[in-house]
Amino acid sequence: MPAFDVVGIGLNATDTLLVVPRFPAYAGKVAIEDELVSPGGQVASAMVTCARLGLRVKYIGTVGDDERGRIQLESLVAEGINLDDVQVRAGCPNQSAYIVIDRSTGERTVLWRRLECLRLEPEQIREEQITCARLLHIDGHDTPAIEKAARIAKSVGIPVTVDVDTLYHGFDRVLPHVDYLIASSEFPTQWTNESDPFKALELIQEEYGMRVAAMTLGAHGALARAEGRFVYSPAFVVNCVDTTGAGDVFHGAFCYAVLARMDLAEALDFSNAMAALNCTALGARGGIRDQTEARTLMRRAERRVHPDFAAHAFVTARS
């Protein structure tokens, strides 16, 4: 039996959250109502979600040796995540982000920085780091290293999930090794130059042959294509405090759903519920809940159905 359920390779970041009553107009000025330093990052936060859901988790990445790096490492250790293959880069600041949160809507604007000294190289990925788990989760950064990891996983039948939000050079060499593509709403249309999201997902899936090609839709939920049909999961309506990290939590929950052998409709609903709950508190990981709370939300919450997506897909629920 593999030592871990999930291994994640990709970004972590330490965020400074700046809460303002409303986002200022260009060249404007607004007073900060609250300021908070909080750990985040695409793959690191997804792995925290997996750990909170009871999975055995290993994280692989690079961390700076500054105070922000220390905060990140301590947060992952506290979750019981294995960090044996995390590299602390001497004299290098950790990836950081300044996130401006509009209190009136919960929406956030992200300003971030990641220096080249944090790059993960393909020679630093070893086969035993991947084959020790039942599932591999990656993002799009450090593409050559990610490609190597995904290729190793594919060669031994380990499913690969990917979180990608923008175009990366060489990512076409990663996609053939991906089983579950969960992209941002922008990525499919940018990648294919096809403005219709349904056609864009179909083109990607047909070209690269992944089991599921999907996209998150923010406040409107998620859309996925599998076995020749589209499934649309509307978002759950909650009191939104901060949208930071919602997508990362979605991905972590989806990893859990794959390992739990949920069907696609249930997996999307569960992931949407976990993401929605995270929006009810400040920070990338502030509102990560357990499966019981997610199931309660799935049964009781109002859904926000987007008519354009509902018109062309199987809808998991209507309200």
Looking at residues 121-140, what average pLDDT do you find? 98
Q: Supply the pTM of this predicted model.
A: 0.96
Average pLDDT of the chain is 96
Give the residue-averaged pLDDT of 32-52: 97
| Tokens standing for residue 146 | 């990610």
Query: Which residue is it, tokens 């070893």?
Result: 126
pLDDT at 319: 44
The DSSP annotation for 117-132 comes to GGPPPGGG--HHHHHT
108-113 and 96-102 strand pairing: antiparallel
Q: What's the pLDDT score for residue 1?
A: 87
Strand-pairing partners, residue 88, are 63
| Residue indicated by tokens 């859309």 | 223
The predicted structure's pLDDT at residue 185: 95
Residue-by-residue DSSP string for 9-56 = ES--EEEEEEEESSPPPTT------EEEEEEE-HHHHHHHHHHHTT--
CA–CA distance, 252 with 240 (Å, rounded to integer): 20
Residue written as tokens 């990891």?
A: 149
* pLDDT tens column, 59-104: 999 999 999 999 999 999 999 999 999 999 999 999 999 999 999 9
Q: Which two tokens stand for residue 142?
A: 């450090």
- The whole-number pLDDT of residue 181 equals 98
pLDDT digits (tens, 9 = 90+) for 226-250: 999 999 999 999 999 999 999 999 9
Q: Say what the pLDDT of residue 9 is.
A: 98
With a cut of 80, say whether residue 318 has pLDDT above it. Answer: no
The pLDDT tens digits for 244-272 are 999 999 999 999 999 999 999 999 999 99
Residue whose C-alpha is closest to residue 284's, from 61, 21, 76, 113:
76
Report d(CA 192, CA 297) in Å as an integer.
35
Phi, psi of 184 (to 5 degrees): -70, 170
Q: What is the pLDDT of residue 41?
A: 97
Token pair, residue 219, equals 């406040």
Contact status, residue 128 vs residue 156, Cβ threshold 8 Å: no
Write the CA distances from 238 to 194, 219, 235, 277, integer angstroms.
Answer: 32, 10, 9, 7
Task: Tokens for 239, please give them.
Answer: 């009191």
- Closest-CA residue to 114 (of 137, 92, 90, 99): 92
Percent of the chain with pLDDT over 90: 98
Q: Which residues does 219 contact at the CB level (< 8 Å), separation at least 6?
A: 235, 304
Farthest CA pair distance, the chain: 57
Give me the sign of the Cα torsion angle 278, 282, 283, 286.
Answer: negative
235: helix, coil or strand? strand
What pLDDT is attached to residue 301?
Answer: 85
Phi, then psi, of 4 in degrees rounded to 5: -130, 155
Report whether pLDDT(315) > 60: yes
Q: What are the backbone angles phi and psi of residue 143, rounded to the nearest 5°? A: -55, -45
Instruction: In whole angstroms, give the CA distance from residue 263 to residue 22.
Output: 40
- Domains of the chain as residue ranges with CATH: 4-11+41-91+121-315 (3.40.1190.20)
- Residues 132-163: tens digit of each pLDDT: 999 999 999 999 999 999 999 999 999 999 99
- Mean pLDDT calculated for residue range 18-42: 96
